[in-house]
Structure 1
Amino acid sequence: MISGLIELDEGCWMRARIVGAEPATLAAGTPVLVEFVRSGPGDHLSGSDRSGQEVTGEVIPVFRVGV
């Protein structure tokens, strides 16, 4: 899993997951396209709340390289 800083066209920055590339191939200015994925039970996108209960079904933005 790769995470990095993404500069949006609107000028703000956000930390996000990057998919579709190897870390060594990434550079500043690499074009990406946002995708929205839904987390599921036991996948790497799911998490837990304060009580430790697994939270699934959240929509999470990821950015795909190679667009």
Structure 2
Amino acid sequence: MPVGIVHRDAATAEFFDGTARGELLIRRCDQCGAFAAPQARTCPGCASPEPSWTPAAGTGLVVSWSVVHTKGAPPIVVAIVELDEGPWLQAQITGAAPEDVYGGMPVRVAFERPEGGEAIPVFRPANG
């Protein structure tokens, strides 16, 4: 099942510029070098304001997941993925049956581009 349509605003513009290029951007502190999730407004390590955008490797491991069942539609797997850089992201898992998803599963970012919306990061099995 495709991801939903998301629209950018001023706070998300740079992130979605990255996804349009096929790049997953996360935050990195210019002061201490700590990485943070894209929505971070301050550094989780030293509380410095306005961490910079930096490309992530786009690889990580499934930490937790849930299977969402909707009447008349195939199930959707939504997971928390720990990126290799450390931050956790919530995203849809595609390319794997719900029963094949497991904790510690290696995943790689991909991007889905629903018509009328921004490119959205999803994760797929890294070895598939």
TM-score, normalised to structure 2's length? 0.38
Distance 1:66 1:9, change over 3 A: closer
Query: In the alignment, does 2:78 pair up with 1:18?
Result: no
Report runs of 4+ in structure 1 exceeding 6 Å deviation.
none
Higher helix share: 2
Could you say which structure has the greater relative contact order, defined with CA pairs below 8 angstroms and 6 or more residues apart? 1
Letter in structure 2 aligned against 1:29: G
Q: Distance in 2 between matches of 1:22 and 1:36?
A: 18
Match of 2:118 in 1: 58
Q: Percent identity of the aligned residues?
A: 46
**Preserved CA contact (<8 Å) 1:5 1:16:** yes
Q: Give aligned pairs, total.
A: 52
The whole-number CA distance in structure 1 between the counterparts of 2:87 and 2:126 is 21
Q: Counterpart of 1:24 in 2: which secondary structure?
A: helix
**Residue ranges of structure 1 left out of the alignment (5+ in a row):** 41-55
RMSD: 1.2
Instruction: Report the 3-state secondary structure (helix = DSSP H, G, I; strand = E; otherwise coil) of the residue aligned with 1:32.
Output: strand
